[in-house]
């Protein structure tokens, strides 16, 4: 029981990170119908920006909460620049062309970003000293002590706050309305006087910012990053988005949480080596029964 609770806590933490990345996939898919393969690498860049700023602020000796806030903002800002540029360079010229073209362009962009970071930052893994220590301990008198570290609390709380802001943004503001309109019908939205290009750009900016927050959490949580982390985290987050129903925002959060939990429980109870297999196997099984994911809109084919 205690072991189960511990795994639950770990799974929710991991799921928060995946969920934040998955939102970027699902938003882009919803609005322009493409798999943004470079999104995982945007996440990786976010992690690097966060790492670099942690090192810089680590030297100044400012208090921890201020450092965290500053790093968060810096990572979001710089990573959003990457998301914006990638969209302008590689996807915008391809809007309206056939379906696979942006996908290949995204694959190319992903290769470019990965190797660009490898060249400029080096191929070695980058370790970082933990900033957080300690945590809350439960079930102290049983055999297995359940630990919820402050870092885990920070990650989950931050995710909940961001998801709250984000949901507000999408459901209540003009920007969100424009975005949902673009999802439904881009031509009609343009006719109604909404700047579609700008809306799409903002989608990329929001998606990249959220991914960069996930990157920052990843740096803090694992303490080690390299230029390759974007790939696995990216495809798992995409799996999460598909599992929840791609194009659906609550679906992305749910999917992220599920993938995080599945992975942790599989690693804890079945086998550590095959934890990555678990996520994909579950995806295949789920898609057999729910071909559009859990919360996806049913796919209506028009003749």
Instruction: Scan residues 145-174 and list those touching another protein (CB under 8 A).
Output: none
Nearer to another protein, 18 or 82 (CB): 82
Q: Tell whether residue 102 is a contact of another protein (CB under 8 A).
A: yes
Nearer to another protein, 165 or 232 (CB): 232
> How many of the chain's residues bind another protein (CB under 8 A)?
73
Q: Tell whether residue 140 is a contact of another protein (CB under 8 A).
A: no
Residue found by looking up tokens 């609770």 in the block: 5
Nearer to another protein, 98 or 193 (CB): 98
Question: 108, 157, 165, 198: which one contacts another protein (CB under 8 A)?
Answer: 108
What is the distance between the alpha carbons of residues 47 and 303, in angstroms, rounded to a whole number? 45
Q: Tell whether residue 130 is a contact of another protein (CB under 8 A).
A: no
Q: Which stretch binds another protein (CB under 8 A): 10-18, 127-135, 142-150, 203-211?
A: 127-135
Instruction: State in Å, rounded, how far the first CA of the chain is from the last one.
Output: 53
Q: Tell whether residue 201 is a contact of another protein (CB under 8 A).
A: no
Q: Which stretch binds another protein (CB under 8 A): 188-196, 230-238, 251-259, 262-270?
A: 230-238
Q: Could you tell me how far CA 303 lies from the centroid of its own chain?
A: 35
Min dist CB 33 to another protein, Å, is 8
Min dist CB 120 to another protein, Å, is 4
**CA–CA distances in Å: residue 94 to residues 25, 97, 105, 162, 270:** 18, 6, 9, 31, 44
Q: Tell whether residue 132 is a contact of another protein (CB under 8 A).
A: no
Q: Which stretch binds another protein (CB under 8 A): 1-9, 110-118, 146-154, 212-220?
A: 110-118
DSSP string, 22-88: HHHHHHHHHHH----TTHHHHHHHHHHHHHHHHHHHHHHT--HHHHHHHHHHHHHHHHHHHHHHHII
By CB under 8 A, what part of segment 65-94 binds another protein? 77-78, 81-82, 84-85, 89-90, 93-94
What is the distance between the alpha carbons of residues 99 and 279, in angstroms, rounded to a whole number? 27
Q: Tell whether residue 101 is a contact of another protein (CB under 8 A).
A: yes
Tell which residue, 162, 163, 293, 299, has the closest CA to residue 240: 293
**CA–CA distances in Å: residue 257 to residues 10, 16, 27, 178:** 11, 6, 17, 28
Secondary structure of 17-37 in HEC code, one letter for each residue = HHHHHHHHHHHHHHHHCCCCC
By CB under 8 A, what part of segment 233-272 binds another protein? 235, 238-239, 242, 246
């Amino acid at each position: 029981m205690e072991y189960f609770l511990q795994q639950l806590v770990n799974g929710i933490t991991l799921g928060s990170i995946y969920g934040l990345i998955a939102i970027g996939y699902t938003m882009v898919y919803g609005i322009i119908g493409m798999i943004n393969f470079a999104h995982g690498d945007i996440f990786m860049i976010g992690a690097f920006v966060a790492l670099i700023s942690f090192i810089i602020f680590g030297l100044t000796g400012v208090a921890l909460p201020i450092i965290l806030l500053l790093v968060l903002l810096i990572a979001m800002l710089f990573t959003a620049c990457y998301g914006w540029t990638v969209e302008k360079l590689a996807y915008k010229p391809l809007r309206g062309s056939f379906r696979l073209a942006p996908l290949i362009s995204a694959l190319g962009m992903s290769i470019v970003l990965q190797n660009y970071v490898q060249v400029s930052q080096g191929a070695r893994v980058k370790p970082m000293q933990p900033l957080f220590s300690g945590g809350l301990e439960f079930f102290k008198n049983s055999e297995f002590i359940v630990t919820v570290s402050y870092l885990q609390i920070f990650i989950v709380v931050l995710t909940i706050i961001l998801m709250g802001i984000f949901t507000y943004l999408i459901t209540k503001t003009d920007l969100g309305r424009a975005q949902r309109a673009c999802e439904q019908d881009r031509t009609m939205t343009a006719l109604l006087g909404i700047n579609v290009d700008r809306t799409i750009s903002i989608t990329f900016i929001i998606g990249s910012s959220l991914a960069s927050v996930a990157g920052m959490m990843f740096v803090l949580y694992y303490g080690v990053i390299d230029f390759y982390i974007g790939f696995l985290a990216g495809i798992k987050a995409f799996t999460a988005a598909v599992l929840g129903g791609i194009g659906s925002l609550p679906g992305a959060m749910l999917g992220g949480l599920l993938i995080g939990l599945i992975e942790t429980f599989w690693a804890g109870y079945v086998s550590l080596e095959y934890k990555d297999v678990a996520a994909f196997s579950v995806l295949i099984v789920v898609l057999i029964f729910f071909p559009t994911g859990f919360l996806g809109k049913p796919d209506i084919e028009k003749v």
